[in-house]
Structure 1
């Protein structure tokens, strides 16, 4: 009987030690992720409604007054080029109606510029540098925080630690000791103080966990380090792989066809055939880079499973080749579906609603987490959960860390940097170790009492 009690006590101590260790991971990961979760949730929620925002921005150039004969496509392109001397033609967006402005992309002084041309009068109604569009700036901020590669790395690092945050949160949430559903699947609103905020935080987190993990995982192909490594692995085949997603603004320019062309001779047969394909809008018509005799028709729909490409003969308009989404490699199809879901475009308004609710939930989790931290934060120190004297099974933690590090290289790099920071710098700064909670809180209290 005594042996059973001792075994049970040892098991409970080990479980509590693991729980406390993961709580500390959850705490530190949360503190690092707070500013990123807030900014990325807000910018991501805005970008979910890109179609509606695009429609609002283009409204002044819809339902135009038209009369007479519609001008030819090459004349419309000529008007756009004449408005910006020295520019080069890159693409022609197929109009969806006869009374809307034609959008022609030109390369003007090294920048992509969208030129809105009246299809009948050839008057230039509006022009904007592509990267200056509000929704593009939101996208750039969401991916790079407007500071280029450094911002991209920070966003990727925050995403990796957010995965750790969710996984440790799930472990902390897991019901123990026969607890009921209260405080697990629904909050106990009658309780006040820290318990009230703890329930709201935990319950919101469990309902959002799956959606947050999906968002984080579907964002990885866009990231600089993980995405580049993944692309390099794909290049080990017999031929280079042309991905349907990009990793940076520089790649986005290249992917969008920003190379200017001296060709702007869109024949009526070519235009009619491109329109007859009825690809999902918006659809771009541009000269093919590899074959001067061909033109490429490319759907840029955010619902990527609807995308398709076609190559047409520049003179006759005959279809030479068509590539549908279903014909792409399975990896591209899986990631394309994930990207469409991430952007809120895979299954219409419901996808947007789920994305918006997830973003709002993440903002609430951040706020409630800060409240919980503030309520338990001591007058001295950061307030990290105290580590128990008993060290949990090192093999379990080592295995978990190795698996996560292999899957998330930025997490591995950050763990290595943290280890170097603690062993090379913080070990010589006892005050900093006390404040960060890297030593026993009793030492902290003793230091305060004697200091």
Structure 2
């Protein structure tokens, strides 16, 4: 009886050890794949924060002496057009000064498909600076951060990395909780730090615990912008209902959507509105707006929206085409304001001057509100405290990735092989962990594809080729 019991215990321990190794191995290989991407995202994120607060996202952080009289907006716009010196140049967007000592910025299209940003001194209507749109240091870092300059391929790779990062977070927290004797209090401290591997492991574990929730939030908000999970899954059912201004809920591809206002890679329109159809001018819809006796121009639209509560930095998009509308947007995602709950988008009919829609944070659905807040938090646009927190977070992510490689190097097996053997530990509640990981994998399509590919390679190739099995098992 005693012997049978001992054999049973040995068998249970052996199975538990193999399960521990199975979860540890998935954590290891997920980390091996995502670490370079995470370091790249953290580094470009730091750079974006730096450039956003020095140069400005749209080059708007240029300062001018404050004077008593502001020149008419029509005069400022004409100066911007004249600066481009093209016969068909037109103003497509106006960005109001962030503060009394800041420049106004106009996006001017030259008629040949090229857009330039023109910074104007609002007190003198003189040109301060001219630069190509979306080509400054901030936008370079943003392009790398978005798709590593590889277009849809890069977007897919980053989406896969973010999806696998979620799996890595869950497995990492589980294994750390297990190694800390299943006590949350011990997870929050490094414990006794020794030299070498013990030092790196202690800080890797405790920083992973503290950053896990924030990293999970960053992954979710980033994934919601990705091509597959974001564009095909959550964004499609999270869009704002456009029926209130008479646009069909299921528009054809010819109907413009809010995302068209982005006019490039850079996101300027709130996430929840990107796929929502635009209202159209020329109808009898809308509420009383600009007085009928006034001409509808950039000047009168700007004056009206200021009367309606728009202050500081906001953006006015001029109508596109005969049915286009005036769109006024102010949101934290575009560095307009530090408060995501104050997001606001207004549409004005170009003919009647009626307000077709005045969309505020309270009008978003719950996921749209989550995205508005999480994106602002993700980008560090909620004030200096969020900037400081993002800087610390990015540095912590870089340390976690570097320390992961150091830890592997210090415990790597002698001879051939990437993965160290299991340590003969008993793994509690492994079924719950497996179910959670499986569900998460199924939620994110690119992660599911990656896991299936790895599993097939493991089953078909690695387990059958002795050299590979020695390296990877």
Counting only pairs closer than 5 Å after superposition, residues 134-213 of structure 1 correspond to structure 2 as 134-175=137-178, 184-213=187-216
Which of 92, 95, 98 is the aligned partner of 2:94? 92
Matched-pair contact (CA < 8 Å) for 2:64–2:121: no
Q: CA distance change for structure 1 residues 426 and 343 in 2, over 3 Å: closer, same or farther?
A: same
Determine the structure 2 residue equivalent to 1:299.
Answer: 330
> Any idea what the Cα deviations from partners look like across 1:54-74, whole Å, max 9, x if unmatched?
45995873223758x644322
Q: Which moved more, 1:180-189 or 1:392-401?
A: 392-401
Give the distance between the partners of 1:389 and 1:186, measured in 2 at CA.
Answer: 24
Deviations 1:399-448 (A, max 9, x none): 4554123211001111222234445555675433332x23xxxxxxxxxx
> Take 1:396 and 1:188, find their aligned partners in 2: how far apart are those partners?
27
Report the Cα offset of residue 81 of structure 1. 2.1
Structure 1 stretch displaced more, 148-157 or 13-22: 13-22
Cα shift at 1:51:
4.8
Task: Tell me which moved more, 300-309 or 17-26.
Answer: 300-309
Q: Given that residues 271 and 317 in structure 1 are in contact (C-alpha distance below 8 angstroms), is that contact kept between their aligned partners in structure 2?
A: no
The equivalent residue for 2:291 is none
Whether 1:226 aligns to 2:261 is no
For structure 2, which runs of at least 5 residues remain unmatched after alignment?
242-247, 275-294, 334-338
Identify the range of structure 1 (291-300 vs 366-375) with the bigger mean alpha-carbon deviation: 291-300
Q: CA deviation at 1:288?
A: 3.9
Determine whether 1:407 maps to 2:443.
Answer: yes
Measure, in 2, the Cα distance between the counterparts of 1:394 and 1:282: 52
The alpha carbon displacement at 1:135 in A equals 1.4
Q: 1:36 to 1:253 in 2, by over 3 A?
A: closer
Partner of 2:372: 336
Secondary structure of the structure 2 residue equivalent to 1:19: helix
Alpha-carbon displacement from aligned partner over 1:233-290 (angstroms, at most 9, x marks no partner): 55899714999889x9846479599xxxxxx972543322222233364311223448
1:2-59 CA-partner distances (Å, limit 9, x unpaired): 3655554444333322211111111111111221121111212333456523459958
Task: Work out whether 1:385 is the aligned partner of 2:386.
Answer: no
Q: CA deviation at 1:155?
A: 1.1
| Contact 1:280 1:301 (8 Å CA) reproduced | no
Distance 1:138 1:293, change over 3 A: closer
Distance 1:427 1:196, change over 3 A: closer
CA distance in structure 2 between the aligned counterparts of 1:79 and 1:309, rounded to whole angstroms? 27
The equivalences for 1:179-328 within 5 A come to 184-230=187-233, 231-233=235-237, 239-240=249-250, 250=264, 252=266, 266=297, 268-279=299-310, 281-289=312-320, 292=323, 294-302=325-333, 303-312=339-348, 319=355, 321-328=357-364
**Separation in structure 1 between the aligned mates of residue 424 and residue 9 of structure 2, nearest angstrom:** 18
What does residue 38 of structure 2 align with? 37
Say what the alpha-carbon RMSD is for the aligned residues. 4.0
1:73 and 2:73 aligned: yes
Aligned residue number for residue 16 of structure 1: 17
TM-score with structure 1 length normalisation?
0.80
User: What is the aligned counterpart of 1:417 among 428, 435, 453?
Assistant: 453
User: Any conservation in 1 of the 2:13–2:424 contact (CA below 8 Å)?
Assistant: no
2:48/2:142 contact within 8 Å kept: yes
- CA separation of 1:169 and 1:427: change in aligned 2, threshold 3 A: closer
Q: Which position in structure 2 is the counterpart of 1:445? A: none
1:89–1:382 Cα change, 3 Å? farther
Seen in structure 2, the aligned counterparts of structure 1 residues 301 and 39 have a Cα distance that, compared at 3 Å, is: same
> Following the alignment from structure 2 to structure 1, what is the Cα–Cα distance between the partners of residues 264 and 58?
25
Name the TM-score, length of structure 2 as normaliser.
Answer: 0.77
Corresponding residue SS for 2:53 = helix
Distance 1:236 1:266, change over 3 A: closer
Superposed displacement of residue 220, structure 1: 1.3
- Cα distance in 2 between the residues matched to 1:287 and 1:122: 20
Instruction: Describe the shift of the 1:249–1:408 C-alpha distance in structure 2 as closer, same or farther (beyond 3 A).
Output: farther
Distance 1:311 1:57 in 2: 22
Task: Give the 3-state SS of the residue equivalent to 1:117 in structure 2.
Answer: strand
CA contact (8 A) 1:281 1:299 kept: no
The answer to whether residue 107 in structure 2 is matched with residue 105 in structure 1 is: yes
> What SS class does the counterpart of residue 156 from structure 1 fall into?
helix
SS at match of 1:192: coil
Instruction: Tell me if structure 2 keeps the 8 A contact 1:45–1:356.
Output: yes
Higher helix proportion: 1
The answer to whether the 8 Å contact 2:134/2:266 transfers is: no
Match of 1:354 in 2: 389
Which secondary structure state, in structure 1, belongs to the residue aligned with residue 328 of structure 2?
Answer: strand
- More deviation, 394-403/351-360: 394-403
Tell me if structure 2 keeps the 8 A contact 1:281–1:301. Answer: no
Structure 1 unaligned regions, length at least 5:
258-263, 439-451
Shift of 1:195: 2.0
